[in-house]
Structure 1
Amino acid sequence: MLSPSLEDYLEEIYRFLDQQGYVRTTDIADKLDVSLPSVTKAVKKLSEKGYLDYERYKNIQLTKKGQEVGNFLVTRNKLLRDFLHVIGSNCDKYQEAEAMEHYLSQKTVDAITCLVAFFKQHPEYQQDFFDFQEKFMNTESSQDNSQDDFNLLIKRYESFD
């Protein structure tokens, strides 16, 4: 099992290799906004765990295990961005998906996959959801999304029990 930090490194390595066929430690450092020594340390750990083939001053390569897990991580991230789109979340989907992805169980990811696929297959139900969401969320709210606004939403939610 990888830490969230190592997942981020592996995910970006996979993306770089997929998009441009090679990856340099400087690419990863720039993308993740970390220092080169941090990248080197993470790459060494991923290599020790069998996700990468890495030798100093050589190209970083994914092992079969690294390709499989990297693909899973990239796919999970896209799924979560799709989920946020499907539910009409008005947020920075990249940041939100990044915040969520490391803390969901596989069963939850599977359920989200099913929900996203359902809405993609049945856009009419997605529109029904958006209509419901608009009515549910439509409150005389203040500009700052205050605690009172949240409490009102909670009361509406609890009324469905």
Structure 2
Amino acid sequence: MLTPSLEDYLEEIYRFSLSLDTVRVTDISKRLKVALPSVTKALYKLRDECYIKYERYGEIKLTDKGNEFGYYLVARNQLLQEFLALICSKSNFAVEAEAMEHYLSTATIDAIKNLVEFMKGNPSWQLAFKDFMSLQD
């Protein structure tokens, strides 16, 4: 089980891997706004847990396990942002999803996923909810 901080590192490595051939320590440092030594320390922990392949000053490569979990982390974040939009939250979806994602159980994430899928599959319910919410303002 990864800490929320290590999940953030893995999520960013996964995102970078989708568009870059080589993920660098400096890329992660800039994106997460953390010092280079903090990134290196996290990379060693992720390597020890078999999520990445990494040697000091070398390339950062996701293992199959890291790729699979990285995909899950990104999908979870996107799901939570979609959920916040569906419930008409007046928040910064990205910030709010980041605050929520590490502290919800898998069962709750699955329940949110079911609700989002239900709402998307039943536009009349979604419209009725939006109408209801507009009356609350």
Q: For this structure pair, what is the TM-score category when the shorter chain's length is used for normalisation?
A: over 0.9
Q: Which amino acid aligns with 2:58?
A: K
Shift of 1:25: 0.5
1:108 maps to what in 2? 108
RMSD: 0.8
Shift of 1:76: 0.2
Give the Cα–Cα distance (whole angstroms) in 2 for the partners of residues 19 and 62 of structure 1.
13
96-105 vs 122-131, greater mean Cα deviation? 122-131
Q: Which amino acid aligns with 2:131?
A: D
Match status 1:21 vs 2:17: no
Structure 2, unaligned runs of 5 or more: none
Give the Cα–Cα distance (whole angstroms) in 2 for the partners of residues 5 and 11 of structure 1.
10
What's the TM-score, normalizing by structure 2? 0.97
Relative contact order higher in (CA < 8 Å, ≥ 6 apart): 2
Give the Cα–Cα distance (whole angstroms) in 2 for the partners of residues 31 and 57 of structure 1.
18
Higher Rg of the two aligned structures: 1
2:8 maps to what in 1? 8
1:144 maps to what in 2? none
Q: Which amino acid aligns with 1:122?
A: N
| 1:121-144 per-position Cα deviation (integer Å, ceiling 9, x unaligned) | 111211100111222x23xxxxxx
Q: Percent identity at matched positions?
A: 55
| 1:39-61 per-position Cα deviation (integer Å, ceiling 9, x unaligned) | 00000100011101001121100
Shift of 1:21: 2.8
Shift of 1:22: 2.1
Q: Which amino acid aligns with 1:21?
A: D
Q: 1:68-83, aligned counterparts within 5 Å? A: 68-83=68-83
Q: Which amino acid aligns with 1:73?
A: L
| 1:70-107 per-position Cα deviation (integer Å, ceiling 9, x unaligned) | 11000000000010111111211000000000000011
Secondary structure of 1:53's partner?
strand
What's the TM-score, normalizing by structure 1? 0.83
Give the Cα–Cα distance (whole angstroms) in 2 for the partners of residues 132 and 81 of structure 1.
20
Structure 1, unaligned runs of 5 or more: 139-161
Give the Cα–Cα distance (whole angstroms) in 2 for the partners of residues 22 and 117 of structure 1.
35
Secondary structure of 1:56's partner?
coil
Number of residue pairs the alignment of both structures matches: 137
Give the Cα–Cα distance (whole angstroms) in 1 for the partners of residues 96 and 21 of structure 2.
28
Secondary structure of 1:83's partner?
helix
